[in-house]
Amino acid sequence: MTGGVILALSSLILVPVAFTCPKECSCDSQVKVVDCQGQDLHDIPHELHPDTLELYLQNNHIRGISSMALRETPQLQVLNLANNSITMISPRALLGLRGLRNLNLANNSIRELDRRLFGSVQNLTQLDLSHNNMAGLPGALADSFHHLTHLWLQYNRLTKLDRTHLEALGNLQVLRLRGNPWRCDCQMIGLKLWLETFTFKGGVVDGVACAWPDAMQERDLRHVPYALFHTCMTTSYSYLFANIHHVDGQHRLLHGPQPWPSPEPPAGAEPGPPVGVPVQECEAKQKPRPVSLRHAIATVVITGVVCGVVCLMMLAAAIYGCTYAALMAKYHRQLKKQEKQAGAAEKDTPDREEDKEPLENAIA
């Protein structure tokens, strides 16, 4: 009787310890890996063991990830959801996965990611977002991925990439950007400088091939001369010349300005920002020739004003000099006249004394 009670209690104690496995998946309880790939799944399976470290769900038909889909696996370190049909990810889907290091979302239909999605994922080292429909990155990217070493962004719809998203990734080693329709205008100077610095420090990047303008198609942004950005605003030049000390001499505008390619975008492309609207990096001038004409007119007007002021100052100085010279000449003439009168008076005084002496002698 006592032995039966002990056996029953032992079985109850051992039940939670057993590594449960969903029926659609194969599990390895030793390394705590759950493999559910290629099982025609439409949702993330339930009944996952809380100690699961690696979960493989690629090659299924999963369309979305709800906020509760991964709450059963707080210890998860590797999550592979590649090659599904994911279009929606809840902003709270990764909440609690503080140990997640590798996240693969490649080959899905993701258009955008909420900035709150990565709020609790602070130790991620590898993130694969390639082969999706993303036109931009979440603003919190730089705040969450200080430990990120590998980032895959190739084959999306990215036209530009703010360097502030990358500057905070101090541990980044590999960056994939190929296959995006990059718009190589003035706003890309910041990314160009960052890429040159990144490769100079030993980072690996596959290239940023320009898709617009037409004259620069298929050219790697890193190899586009800085002279082609001469129509950018002054603020962009300040940043440019402050950061190109490591760039080869041929990129330092030694060959003078060259004409900017035609600014007309290809059919179907999104129009660029309007002229005159301030942007973070710079603003491409849509019509270089009228801008140059305005600059020339402004230069002529300023030069004329300066010359007019200088001429007025010279005229005033000449009038003052002539007036001073005339007054001094008049003063000297009067001084000489007074000296002559004084000399004549001195000559008359001795003659009168000589006339008095004979008279005195005669009286005596």
Q: How far apart are CA 239 and CA 233, in angstroms?
A: 11
Average pLDDT over residues 211-234: 76
3-state secondary structure the chain: CHHHHHHHHHHHHHHHHCCCCCCCCEEECCCCEEECCCCCCCCCCCCCCCCCCEEECCCCCCCEECCCCCCCCCCCCEEECCCCCCCEECCCCCCCCCCCCEEECCCCCCCCCCCCCCCCCCCCCEEECCCCCCCCCCCCHHHHCCCCCEEECCCCCCCCCCCHHHHCCCCCCEEECCCCCEECCHHHHHHHHHHHHHHHCCCEECCCEEEECHHHCCCEHHHCCHHHHCCCCHHHHHHHHHHCCCCCHHHCCCCCCCCCCCCCCCCCCCCCCCCCCCCCCCCCCCCHHHHHHHHHHHHHHHHHHHHHHHHHHHHHHHHHHHHHHHHHHHHHHHHHHHHHHHHHHHHHHHHHHHHHHHHHHHHC
Checking if the pLDDT of 269 tops 80, the result is no
Domain boundaries, the chain: 18-266+276-286, 287-344
Reported confidence tier of residue 104, pLDDT bands at 50, 70, 90: very high
Q: How far apart are CA 216 and CA 232, in angstroms?
A: 17
Q: What is the phi-psi region of residue 2: left when phi exceeds 0, alpha when psi lies from -120 to 50, beta otherwise?
A: alpha
Reported confidence tier of residue 231, pLDDT bands at 50, 70, 90: low
Reported confidence tier of residue 248, pLDDT bands at 50, 70, 90: very low
Cα angle at 227 between 222 and 228, to 5 degrees?
A: 75
Q: How far apart are CA 58 and CA 86, in angstroms?
A: 11
pLDDT digits (tens, 9 = 90+) for 37-80: 999 999 999 889 999 999 999 999 999 999 999 999 999 999 99
Mean pLDDT of the chain, nearest integer: 77
The third-level CATH classification (topology) of the domain covering 18-266+276-286 is 3.80.10
Tokens 């001195």 found at: 346
pLDDT digits (tens, 9 = 90+) for 109-163: 999 998 888 888 888 999 999 999 999 887 666 667 889 999 999 999 999 888 8
